[in-house]
Amino acid sequence: MRKINIGLLGLGQIGTGLYEILTSKKAFFERKLGVSFEIVRIAEKFPNRKRKVHPPKGIMTRDALSVVRDPSVDIVVELIGGTTAARAVIKEALKEGKHVVTANKALLAEYGDEIFELAHAMRRWVCFEASVGGGIPCIKALREGLAANNIESIYAIINGTTNYILTQMTETGMGFSEALAGAQAKGYAEADPTLDIQGIDAAHKLAILVRFAFSGRVRFKDIYSEGIAQISSDDIAFAKEFGYVIKLLAIAKKTADGVEARVQPTLLPKSHILANVNQSFNAILLRGDETGDVMLYGRGAGAHPTASAIVADLVDIAKGSMEGPVDDASVIRALGSRVTVKSITSILSRYYLRFYVIDKPSVLAAITKILGAHQVSISDVIQRERSAGKVVPLILLTHEAPEKNVRAAIRVIDRLAFVKGKSQVIRMEET
């Protein structure tokens, strides 16, 4: 029986879930996996806070560094979040010769190079399954199940909060603010939802997926992200009329002239497999050159789904490091050559364009003329019934066009006297 001593940093939502699983299923892991996990130290900012679980007082401390330096600890599990203290303690843990498991996507997205390099130098493991897609084993699928493949593209719904909000807007017709308030009331959105609704949380996860799927270093600042706060109930309704739904997608694909990686609200055909991933669920659609499409679906957050992924990492380390210090395949893979991400203005896409215009003759002609002058051609139009002199919505779908041309055309259109307010531009995906 392999005995593994764990130093747990952070007894918040996920730390508590992990504690519950490791203590309640101790015998199950021993029997099924041949590994005995013991949480021997826990660091928590307020050790005496009232909480769901009651670890022995003697193993609790406020001092995370004392946990990572404790010689009895084999694996450090970092679940405090953020990029300051977490970065310092993970580096210290690696220097102390500990393996590390973390769910911290912000840290790995922003400081991945530094952490993986140190892990490589120390020949220690850094496992991060829980950092993307919560309970969905996407890192393991990429590393093992899809090992034979060059990954060509990733299309993913990897933020449950925004998926829940967009689902509510689609199903009930409510606006963004009302849907956000509902998500907060139900515990699907934080009191400060900025990271989620601006697409930053999804971009953190995409940075990790790109690094891993495309086997290379990626700079977080190169990943473009756009959130959902500007999506209106009108946009959702018009998209529906055209046969589409709006989802916040994390997209990465290899193209002839480089890698595209971005997070964006996206019009997807209703028949698309990701269009039917609703509520707070996540899904990751990977396209391998040998397998074609593989989709992983499940709970992208929550204490037990996320802790389940952490246990999988603990098992990998327990088994993989048995023979002494061996390089962690994930660390090696994360340190490939630099992935150069194309700038957003150099991509090609189809677009949904929504304008509010004063209803008068020749408005449509004037707008399509400007788009035409920028080589943006129209594939479909919705023009509301006439209401002379009133402001009415005008919606156009385009054929594939260069983003920089669309932006230039919109700048001209937004200056027209009969166009009211800022125009809406949402990218479309078909595959």
Alpha helices in 96-153 (DSSP H): 105-122, 138-140
Of residues 31 through 60, those in contact with ligand NAP by CB under 6 A are: 43-46
Query: Measured from the CB atom, is 28 or 46 closer to ligand NAP?
Result: 46
Query: Measured from the CB atom, is 90 or 236 closer to ligand NAP?
Result: 90
Distance of alpha carbon 320 from alpha carbon 247, whole angstroms:
38
Which span sits near ligand NAP by CB under 6 A: 148-156, 301-309, 327-335, 418-426? 301-309
Which residue is listed with tokens 């990686």?
A: 261
Distance of alpha carbon 341 from alpha carbon 224, whole angstroms:
9
Residue pair 273/285 in contact (Cβ under 8 Å)? The answer is yes
Residue pair 199/163 in contact (Cβ under 8 Å)? The answer is no
Of residues 104 through 143, those in contact with ligand NAP by CB under 6 A are: 104-105, 130, 134
Residue 63 has which token pair? 């001092």
Residue 323 has which token pair? 């023979």
Which span sits near ligand NAP by CB under 6 A: 12-20, 218-226, 231-239, 416-424? 12-20
Q: How far is the CB of 127 from ligand NAP (least distance, A)?
A: 13
Q: How far is the CB of 325 from ligand NAP (least distance, A)?
A: 26
- Active site includes 205? yes
Q: How far is the CB of 43 from ligand NAP (least distance, A)?
A: 4
Write down the catalytic residue from 91, 98, 140, 205. 205
Q: In the set 10, 112, 199, 288, which binds ligand NAP (CB under 6 A)?
A: 10
Query: Measured from the CB atom, is 283 or 428 closer to ligand NAP?
Result: 283
Q: How far is the CB of 85 from ligand NAP (least distance, A)?
A: 4
How many residues make contact with ligand NAP (CB under 6 A)? Answer: 24
Of residues 201 through 240, those in contact with ligand NAP by CB under 6 A are: none
Sign of the four-CA dihedral 76, 79, 81, 85: negative
Q: Looking at this protein, which amino acid is placed at residue 295?
A: M
Residue 175 has which token pair? 């606006």
Q: Which residues contact 103 (CB under 8 A, 6 or more apart)?
A: 14, 78, 79, 128, 130, 131, 306, 309, 310
Give contact residues for ligand NAP (rule: CB under 6 A): 9-15, 43-46, 64, 79-81, 85, 103-105, 130, 134, 301-302, 306
Residues marked as catalytic: 205
